[in-house]
Amino acid sequence: DLEEHGNAPSSINRHIWALKSYFRFRVETGVVGAELLKIRGLKTISRKPRFLADKEWDRLLKVAVDAVYDLETGSHARLRAKLSLALLYVYAGGGLRLSEAVGMKEEDIIDEGFLRVLRKGGHEDYVPVEDEVVRVVKDWITSRPPNGRFVFPGKAPDSPMARRTAQGLIKELCRRAGLPDVHVHSLRHTAGYQLRKAGASERDIQDVLGHKNIATTGIYTTLVREDLRRRLPKRFASARQARMDWK
């Protein structure tokens, strides 16, 4: 039972969709009855994506940068800190998916301020990033021992870092910053939120994040609106309070 094993409703629904597609073919060929197509999916709860507010982002960035400069030059701990910083910059700076970053090769870091990534559909894309992202990643490449062409190498020669390793390094960084609920995909959402807040259009953000459907990108407009509403100055409530005080 998928639900008993802790699978989310959305994950279970994907299994149901796959089964219904298979059964539809079997119904058309007369192997099974049409009643199998009546299987319904589970209700899903729409959750707001976890992104970092400005103060949280500043705190995480400080923890990551301080770790590099506070440790002894040439030490294993400092090398690990440079690795964590480079991963953070790639995930938050480019809004990359977990697999997109670990799959990058050295030639995918372009001096003019782009990361060349292989998207989920198998096509290449060029993601614009700040010059500082390129600098930090190249600093990591020149600091680490040579081990093939991958920017973030794995244990085996000329192999990419395991996804769980990259996720673990980011989780450890976030934990030290007091953000235990933040993970790699949260950094992707943070990139989308920060771009929208800075005035980038939904179409531009769709291109940066590699969304197939622009409706997916619309969530960042909603997040920015909600954030703005929370920060609105209380200009009118004071008048009502003053009136109550006069009574």
Whose tokens are 């060929």? That residue is: 29
Task: Provide the pLDDT confidence category of residue 247 given band limits of 50, 70 and 90.
Answer: low
Catalytic residue, chosen from 188, 189, 193, 196, is 188
Summary mean pLDDT of the chain: 85
Task: Provide the pLDDT confidence category of residue 6 given band limits of 50, 70 and 90.
Answer: very low
Whichever domain contains 84, its CATH number is 1.10.443.10
Give the CA radius of gyration of the chain.
Answer: 23
> Is residue 88 domain-resident?
yes
CA distance 152 to 125: 19
> Is residue 135 domain-resident?
yes
User: Is 20 a catalytic site residue?
Assistant: no
pLDDT tens digits for 30-45? Answer: 655 566 556 665 554 4
pLDDT tens digits for 214-233? Answer: 988 999 999 999 988 888 88
pLDDT at 20 over 70: no
Catalytic residue, chosen from 116, 119, 144, 211, is 211
Residue 33's domain spans which residues? 1-45
Q: What average pLDDT does the segment 158-181 reach?
A: 96
For position 146, what pLDDT does the model report?
86
171 and 82 housed in the same domain: yes
Q: What average pLDDT does the segment 203-221 reach?
A: 92
For position 67, what pLDDT does the model report?
94
User: Is 185 a catalytic site residue?
Assistant: yes
For position 19, what pLDDT does the model report?
65
12 and 126 housed in the same domain: no
Based on the structure, what is the number of domains in the chain? 2
**Residue spans of beta strands (DSSP E) within the chain:** 109-110, 114-118, 124-128
User: Is 97 a catalytic site residue?
Assistant: yes
For position 43, what pLDDT does the model report?
53
112 and 178 housed in the same domain: yes
For position 48, what pLDDT does the model report?
83
Catalytic residue, chosen from 48, 120, 175, 225, is 120
pTM, to two decimals: 0.77
170 and 101 housed in the same domain: yes
